[in-house]
Amino acid sequence: MHLLFQTNSDLPDQDTVIIIMIIVGIAFYFIPSIIALLRGKKNLLAIIALNFFLGWSFIGWVISLVWSLSSDHKPQPIVVNQQRPKIKEDGEDGIDKLTKLKKLLDENTITQEEFDQQKSILLKNH
């Protein structure tokens, strides 16, 4: 009775080996889709479609793999700070002071270096 179920070789059937090779090949072919699914990519369906239709070409497979491994870009928040110009206690703001400095420079009352120095001080304060 034991002789009926014994095979002469220790190797599995040729059909079993072929089935295992097909399963491994399909799993390897869809590695980009599996990675995209596990990573929860936004463009999951597009990656799967690219992998399915163009994965047979090496370039299509590599592109879908890179796409599945890349990070999804999150939109960056834009913060806009709108501040009114500060008005000093004497009622004169920085623009008025800068205008007066420019007038003094044009009249050659102060030098360009003095103007630049005072301008940088005004701009730092505002």
Comparison of pLDDT for 29 and 82, the residue scoring more: 29
pLDDT (mean) for 96-113:
89
pTM over 0.85: no
Residue 8 pLDDT > 80, yes or no? no
HEC string of the chain?
CHHHHCCCCCCCCHHHHHHHHHHHHHHHHCHHHHHHHHHCCCCHHHHHHHHHHHCCCHHHHHHHHHHHHCCCCCCCCCCCCCCCCCECCCCCEHHHHHHHHHHHHHCCCCCHHHHHHHHHHHHHHC
pLDDT tens digits for range 29-73: 999 999 999 999 999 999 999 999 999 999 999 999 999 999 988
Mean pLDDT of the chain: 84
pLDDT (mean) for 10-29:
89
- Domain borders along the chain are 2-69, 94-125
